[in-house]
Structure 1
Amino acid sequence: MRLLKKYGLTWLVSLLLTTLTCGVVMEVLPTTVVERIDHFLYDLRMRAQPTEHDPRIVIVDIDEKSLDQIGRWPWSRNVVADLTSSLADHYKAKSIGFDIIFAEPDTSSGFETLRKLSQHELKDTPGLDQRLRQLRNELDYDGRLAAAIKDKPVVMGFLFSNEPRSVSKGVLPPPAFSEDELEGRRLDTLNWTSYTANLARLQSAASSGGFFNPVLDQDGVVRSVPLLAKIDGNYYESLAIATTRAALGANTVRPVFLQADAMMSEEALRQYGAIASLAMDGPLETIDIPVERRLTTLVRYGSKGGVEDSHFTYLSAVDIIKRRLPLSALEGKIVLVGTTVPGLYDLRATPVSPNYPGVEIHANVIASILDANFLHRPDFSVGYDLLQVILVGLLLGICLPLLGPLVGMGLSFGTAVIIVVLNFVLYSYGNLVLPMASALLLVAVLFVSNLGWSYLFEVRSRRAMVGLFGEYVAPELVAEMAANPKAYSMEGESRDLTVLFSDVRGFTTISESLQPNELREYINDYLTAMSEDIRNNRGTLDKYIGDAVMAFWGAPVFLPDHASLAVATALKMQESVIELNQRFAKRKWPALHIGIGINTGLMRVGDMGSKVRRAYTVMGDAVNLGSRLEAITKVYGVGVIVGVQTREAAPEYAYRELDRVRVKGKNEPVPIFEPMGLFKELNHVARARIEKWHDALAAIRAMRWDDAEQKLQALQADKPHGLYTLYLQRIQHYRDNAPPADWDGVTTFDTK
């Protein structure tokens, strides 16, 4: 119950943050921030994944070298025909996929121009028609390309579009299957309205065709590609699927649906369209290709891409056309024909590079199909994300408020590391792409919110500390306490402390000689100076009692040298009185004299008082003795008197023992002392004077009156003092009234 009262609000905030994060995971609270962070983390994982060179796939690059030697793009179809013939007939490529569209007829040979001239301006030219018939096949570049493609494992690429008012061009290849073949099932796939495809004679000559549309995420990066797409009720293959199928001799690609079970009926599956994978039926085996939403697959990028950094082999198209390469460079390889020239606009932004050749994206997909090695977002990814968010919320939400900042930071960092490491392990060894942005964000938010709450709580505690102790304690002590407010409280406790009482001598006479406004200034100046001396020596100012001041050392902040600080303060207060009197004299105010009593011992300290008024103060016998010592300073004519425990606790000062006294309220006699200053600062004269005094005091206690009187008179002649006068009077009294034989030399005070 106590923990609930203390941390209940913090736990409630953590629960709220965890609930909001769960809402984001379940897409009840839509946000793009989490998706962007997950994309960023996905890209980091992709870049960190090492890959080896893949010799099975070759990219024939229409590069700068090829353009320099053959001419600018687009090339005449006869050049493309030569390229195709070299790949298929000479180098025996396993399959050839064109990441290029041949949508317009090639008229670069000039045959159509000659044909029209032969029908009009040159129709009477002898032998022209016959010659044109002879040249027809040679100058029909589209026909030459169709002939080069025919009966070869060549896949023509085409492009879908959803642009408004776009017009379809060219001819599509036969579809993989139609909507009617699904028996009422529906597929969640990309739908298109138009296309740009190849000439009919080229497409009909090719073994198949495939589209090469990528899927752009919101940040414009290609992380996945569709494997099938729909237009006019028919489903078509991607270039990667069609090229792989041509290489493997597979006849079809078909959807594989989930089977009905106790959890979902056949009719529900039919409406839901729950597809498990795509199946590529080959002559030897069936390859299952897992799919994401909308029949896409995540691309496993193996390198930064391009000629220099790819894990695929890049060959210049001109070297293929001129057959400069050995047969082993292409024999039995899957070939993709594309371009890396920036001006031909086939560069894409990907997780591994902002300028990645589009043709190499298809190569990566083909490699995944051949290896049956696909990155996959499992169906349980949302549940996994929800579970880790709940666990993070429970762990950090409960523990962080109970821990200090450093331990809390370590727990938060360790939790984040576990999330990241587990995610990378599942990615690297299980090919599972699982979200972690939500959990990491929750870790950060919970840590920051708890840190902020702790800071606000600490600020509030510090303000409370200042409010509680600021009136009593020196500012630097308040700052020290505020740095660790939990270590301090106003609850009562017993400690060894040192207390100081100060009082003005003859204050009644002073008050009668001053006007009210002058008295106010007088007492304010006095109390200000005394308070500053106390606080400057780390003392706790307890209270003002009229013209009296009470202070103590050692609480609330523990001070091992509390007795020394109190003695130093008392001596400084006497010096301040001298300075005040110099100022008072200029205003013709009466001189100020104070007496100070100091005592050290066990005291009860804490917040004490009544329901009406309370104060942080000290109580106990040691406190009462300090007050009595202040009262008798005027008896001995000294400014400061300390008890024996203070003297023992502050041995660096030189003391003059004044007497052994029995104050009112105590039966046990106590020695009392006057601090004379730091021992190391006293000269030999002062030290000698103290020794002579102690000799005189010893003679008095031994009742050697004549010897004591002689010593006191010598001291009085050297430096007069009221203390010597007091003891000379006592000697005279003892001569007239001899003390008993067992006299202990103690002076008893019956009044306060």
Structure 2
Amino acid sequence: MRELLKRLFKRDQLILLGAGVSVTVIMIALFLSQPKFLHLLNLKIYDNYLRQYHQPAATQVPVIIDLDEKSLAELGQWPWPRYRVALLLKYLTAYGAVAVASDVIFSEPDRTSPMVMQADVRRELHIDMRFEGLPRDLMDYDRLLAYNLKDGPYTLGFDFSRDRAVANNDCCVRPARTAVLSPPGAPSPHDCLPEGDRMICPIPVLAEAAPESGFITITPDLDSVYRRVPLLYSHDGQIYASLALATLMQATGEKNIIIKMSPVGIESIKFNDVVVPTDAGGQMLINYRGPMRTFEYISAADVLARKLAPGSLRGRIAFIGTSASGLKDIRATPLDPGFPGVEAHATIVDNILSKQILSVPDWAPGLEFLGMLAGGLVTTFLLMWARASWIILPLLGMGCAMWYGSVLFYREQNLFISPMYSYLTLGLTFITLTLIKFWREETAKRYIHGAFAHYLAPSVISQIMDNPDALSLDGQEKNITIQFSDVRNFTSLSEKLSPTQVTDLLHDYLTPMTRIITENEGTLDKFIGDAVMAFWNAPLDIENHQEKSLRAALAQQRRLEELNKVFLEKYGFAIAVGIGIHCGPVRVGNMGSSDLFDYTLIGDNVNLASRLEGLTKYYGQKIVVSQAIRDACPDGHYFRILDNVRVKGKKEPVTIYTVYAPEEAEARRDELALHERAHQAYVDRDFETAETLFRQLRGYGRDTILCDLYIERCEHLQTEPPACDWDCVFTHKTK
């Protein structure tokens, strides 16, 4: 194996490969162990997603009945007499609420009941106190409330606690009715669900009367922020539903919960055809909709005073809770450090009803693991084989793809796939290997200097080292014909292909194109992705170089028609190529840095040739040439005038043409003659005639882009005639 690696890779590459694999393995170990500091960092990334992409409440079903400062000021301090609570429940159902849940636990008897007061006075003061004219049903407010609970869609809250001092053992709340769908080898739900040691429950008379009950227990993450809620709890071999889940079941009339298990734990919870994805412990991520008061708050005092419009709560689910100072149940969330616990229950109901439930799917760790491998290994191989200037864009592209993919999962599928470990692996691998390459390159420079000392005089080496300007980069100024060609919409086309197919497509296209250039005595300057830059008349002088560049362009288009037949069969689409040609004086020679240089061109005419290639798409033409090319090639080709333009970055206008071979021009003689008439009418300011002729020209079914362009111009110029000094020049604002 070692010998095979030596044959496949150079020594420097083996060092980089070993370092890159080592960094990746270390990150995999951290991923598997999930250290606390990285776990907290991952939670902060999740919080950022939630803050940046959270949406407003999707339903108007939940409403908060607030035991606020106003209620306490008007009706007295909490706890209120239970008859008042009974009235509140009755009024809420009278207003149309389909379910009412209490986030307040009635864990102690009502001390304001007349019967309780009689007993206290008799025991402590030895006085028999009697109430004249008081109905017997009002002697015990707890029984009055219990009587009212039996007849309505009410859910009472209870809590799980590890504190023996506050927990009560005489708990009469009923467990949830559950069924379990479990594949072979899956654990029991009791082994996965959080387990409550003790319960804080409503007093038995209320717990037995309430149609439903649900726990309000929720545990924060390591940073004391509440991001998830258990929907089910296990206690003494029974399973209990959360307040939000129990209330939803009460509202829908559903009585059964189906727990779907997987080999690693709980996969989802289903009731009434609603599937709620959870983690392995049966916890649901809360898709918070905003800070406090995202949902509607109604003062309990207003409900008791009958100030609401009739039917104003029809079809809604009411949660009774408090925002009053001293009573507020505060929870820190990613969107609000002081979020009332009762509004968390409302948020859960909204999430489930809208089916906008955030989750981390069971395949997320696998995808994150693959992202780590890709980040580490791709970065390693890029740094092993590619130049530094070539790897920035691929790495940036990979980083953007990781982030955008994660965001896309979150926004479109409500799935959180963390890019953290992939980013850390990519970044640490890049930094480590870059430092190694830097060290190796410095070592290599010293080695090469010493090695060449055996072949060159030390004095010569010293002069070059001391005076790099001795290597002149100057060239010469010549009249050069420049050609730019580019595949249109190549980025979108390449998205349909694998990287290997993109490479094969470029090879199949570029090979014949460059061969045509060289066969016509052109010089290939460079490939710019799918674009090609070539020139004529350098380094050797070429006679009729403008003519040869035109022949090459026409031959390239003819060859492309043949290639497209293969591309359609092989890749499912054809490609279109735009070619721009211009000639003029430029500086040609060795251009570059003191260390590396390239034989190429610079000058304003190079830029103009590039702009002409860009105009092929705008005018819907395969080839666009300048006036200079037309003047240099008076015979042998037909030049069709396109426009007088001022390209971006240039002040002087230029007349541009497209070119046809003689046989094609003859075949389209009538059409081209009509174009000349139409364009001349446009130049002569006869825009009405020009528009009519261009519309006739469009009927040929070719050059529709060009015809539509001139039709639009003519319509505009008829409405807003140009100034007297109009020169027919169109200024392009973009490249």
TM over 0.5: same fold?
yes
- Give, in angstroms, the shift of residue 418 of structure 1: 0.9
Amino acid corresponding to residue 186 of structure 1 in structure 2: S
Moved more, 205-214 or 168-177: 168-177
Moved more, 227-236 or 404-413: 404-413
For 2:315, give the aligned amino acid: G
Q: Provide the C-alpha distance between the structure 2 equivalents of 1:159 and 1:106, rounded to a whole number of angstroms.
A: 19
9, 15, 38: which one pairs with 2:15? 9
Distance 2:325 2:122 in 1: 42
Q: Which whole-Å deviations, capped at 9, do the CAs of 1:720-751 have from their partners, x for residues lacking one? A: xxxxxxxxxxxxxxxxxxxxxxxxxxxxxxxx
CA contact (8 A) 1:347 1:355 kept: yes
* Mapped partners of 1:561, 1:239: distance in 2: 81
SS in structure 1 at match of 2:372: helix
Q: For residues 363-418 of structure 1, what are the alpha-carbon distances to aligned partners after superposition, in whole Å with 9 as ceiling and x for unaligned?
A: 12112221233222222112111111111122101113445556544443332211
Aligned partner of 1:161 in structure 2 is: 161
The answer to whether the aligner puts 1:303 opposite 2:294 as a matched pair is: no
Specify whether residues 352 and 561 from structure 1 end up closer, same or farther in structure 2 by C-alpha distance, changes over 3 A only. closer
Counterpart position of 2:281: 294
Matched with 2:564 is none
**Structure 2: which 5+ residue stretches go unaligned?**
1-6, 473-735
Does the 8 A contact of 1:111 with 1:136 survive in 2? Answer: no
| CA distance in structure 2 between the aligned counterparts of 1:422 and 1:361, rounded to whole angstroms | 29
Give yes or no for contact 2:100–2:318 (8 Å, CA) kept in 1.
yes
Q: Which runs of 5+ in 1 are unaligned?
A: 259-271, 470-487, 495-539, 543-550, 563-752
Cα shift at 1:142: 2.0
Q: What secondary structure, in the 3-state scheme, does the structure 2 residue paired with 1:44 have?
A: helix
Residue in structure 2 matching 1:47, options 51, 62, 70: 51
What percentage of aligned pairs have identical amino acids? 25
Measure, in 2, the Cα distance between the counterparts of 1:253 and 1:160. Answer: 20
Instruction: Classify 1:170/1:85 alpha carbon distance in 2 versus 1 (closer, same or farther; 3 Å).
Output: farther
Alpha-carbon separation, structure 2, partners of 1:451 and 1:378: 35
Of residues 201-210 and 142-151 in structure 1, the stretch that sits farther from structure 2 once superposed is 142-151
| Paired residues of 1:553 and 1:559 also in contact (CA < 8 A) | no
| 1:254 and 2:237 matched | no
Structure 2 residue 241 is the aligned partner of structure 1 residue 241: no
Distance of aligned partners of 1:413 and 1:328 in 2 relative to their CA distance in 1, 3 Å threshold: farther
Aligned-partner residue type, residue 303 of structure 1: G
2:398 to 415, 429, 436: 415
Tell me: CA distance 1:340–1:350, structure 2 relative to 1, closer, same or farther (3 Å). Answer: same
For 1:118 and 1:215, how far apart are their aligned partners in 2? Answer: 44
1: CA distance, partners of 2:388 / 2:80: 68
Say whether 1:443 aligns with 2:411.
no
Tell me if the contact between 1:111 and 1:140 (Cα under 8 Å) persists in the aligned partners: yes
Q: Aligned pair 1:351/2:334, yes or no?
A: yes
Q: Say if 1:92 and 1:18 are closer, same or farther in 2 by CA, change over 3 A.
A: same
CA spacing shift, 1:42–1:74, aligned 2, 3 Å? same
- What is the Cα deviation at residue 110 of structure 1? 5.5
- Counterpart for residue 140 of structure 1: 140
Task: Tell me the equivalent position of 1:319.
Answer: 302
**2:360 is aligned with what amino acid?**
R
8 Å contact kept, 2:328–2:340: no
Paired amino acid for 1:15: V
**TM-aligned CA deviation for residue 132 of structure 1:** 5.8
Partner of 2:591: none
Over 3 Å counting, the alpha-carbon distance change for 1:120 and 1:361 in structure 2 is closer
Are residue 114 (structure 1) and residue 101 (structure 2) matched?
no
Report the equivalent of 2:84: 79
Cα drift, residue 170 of structure 1: 5.2
* Residue 20 of structure 1: aligned partner: 26
Q: Deviations over 1:679-708 (max 9, x none)?
A: xxxxxxxxxxxxxxxxxxxxxxxxxxxxxx
SS, match of residue 92 in structure 1:
coil
Q: Cα 1:189–1:493, aligned 2, differ >3 Å: closer, same or farther? A: same
Aligned CA distance change for structure 1 residues 181 and 257 (closer, same or farther; 3 Å): closer
User: Is the CA contact (8 Å cut-off) linking 2:266 and 2:281 kept in structure 1?
Assistant: no
Give the aligned partner of residue 171 of structure 2: 171
Change (3 A) 1:399 1:94: same
What's the offset of the Cα at 1:344? Answer: 2.2
Aligned ranges for residues 335-346 of structure 1 at < 5 Å? 335-341=318-324, 343-346=326-329
Question: Partners in 1 of 2:365 and 2:276 — Cα distance?
Answer: 22
User: In the alignment, is the contact (CA less than 8 A) between 2:69 and 2:325 conserved in 1?
Assistant: no
Question: For residues 459 and 328 of structure 1, do their structure 2 counterparts lie closer, same or farther at Cα, with a shift above 3 Å needed?
Answer: farther
Distance 1:95 1:457 in 2: 72
Structure 2 residue matching 1:97: 3-state secondary structure: strand
Which amino acid is 2:158 matched to? F
Match of 1:186 in 2: 188
Q: Distance in 1 between matches of 2:120 and 2:12?
A: 96
Between the aligned partners of 2:178 and 2:162, the Cα distance in structure 1 is 20
Residue identity in the other structure for 2:26: L
In structure 2, C-alpha distance between the alignment counterparts of 1:147 and 1:444, rounded to whole Å: 65
SS in 2 for 1:21: helix
- Residues 54 and 287, structure 2, Cα contact 8 Å, conserved in 1: no
Structure 1 residue 202 and structure 2 residue 202: aligned? Answer: no
Find the aligned partners of 1:406 and 1:142 in 2 and give their Cα distance.
Answer: 78
Equivalent-residue separation in structure 1 for 2:13 and 2:180 (angstroms) = 63
Cα distance in 1 between the residues matched to 2:216 and 2:125: 45
* Alignment partner, residue 216 of structure 1: 220
User: 1:101–1:490: structure 2 CA closer, same or farther, 3 Å change rule?
Assistant: farther
Please give the secondary structure, in 1, of the residue aligned with 2:468: coil
Task: Describe how 1:552-567 pairs up with structure 2 within 5 A.
Answer: 553-554=463-464, 557-560=467-470
Deviations 1:81-104 (CA, angstroms, capped at 9, x unpaired): 22212112x212110111110101
- Mapped pair 1:426 → 2:409: yes
- State the distance in 2 between where 1:322 and 1:279 align: 39
1:354, CA displacement in angstroms? 1.7
Describe the superposition over 1:397-453 as per-residue Cα deviations: whole angstroms up to 9, x where unpaired: 111344555654444333221111001111111222223211111112112212333
Query: Structure 1: how far apart are the matches of 2:253 and 2:180?
Result: 25
1:452 is the counterpart of 2:435: yes
Cα 1:176–1:401 change in 2 (3 A) is same
> CA deviation digits over 1:55-105, x for unaligned, max 9?
1111112222222322333333233222212112x2121101111101011
- Alignment-mate amino acid for residue 157 of structure 1: G
The answer to whether 1:227 aligns with 2:243 is no
Structure 1 133/120 Cα, relative in aligned 2: closer, same or farther at 3 Å? Answer: farther
Q: Are residues 1:280 and 2:284 paired?
A: no
Contact (CA 8 Å) 2:178, 2:256: kept in 1 or not? Answer: no
Determine if contact 1:381/1:434 at 8 Å carries over to the other structure.
yes
User: Which of these residues, 331, 335, 343, is aligned with residue 360 of structure 1?
Assistant: 343
**SS of match in other structure, 2:227:** strand
Secondary structure at 1:302 match in 2 = coil
Aligned pair count reads 461
Q: How big is the alpha-carbon RMSD for the aligned residues of Structure 1 and Structure 2?
A: 3.3
1:331-389 C-alpha deviation (Å, 9 max, x unpaired): 22011111233532411111222221211211121122212332222221121111111
Cα displacement (A) at 1:556: 5.8
CA contact (8 A) 2:267 2:282 kept: no
Q: Give the counterpart letter for 2:66 in structure 1.
A: D
Tell me by how many angstroms 1:185 deviates.
Answer: 6.3
> Partners of 1:51 and 1:172 in 2: how far apart?
39
Cα distance per residue 1:215-252 (max 9 Å; x no partner): 32111121111111110110000001100001111122
Return the TM-score normalized by structure 1: 0.56
Aligned positions of 1:469-508 closer than 5 A: 490=453, 492=455
Task: Tell me: CA distance 1:244–1:178, structure 2 relative to 1, closer, same or farther (3 Å).
Answer: closer
Structure 1 residues 356 and 559 mapped into 2: Cα distance closer, same or farther (>3 Å)? Answer: same
**How far apart are 1:253 and its partner, in Å?**
1.4
The question of whether the paired residues in 1 share the 8 Å contact of 2:179 and 2:257 is answered with no
Q: Given that residues 177 and 234 in structure 1 are in contact (C-alpha distance below 8 angstroms), is that contact kept between their aligned partners in structure 2?
A: no
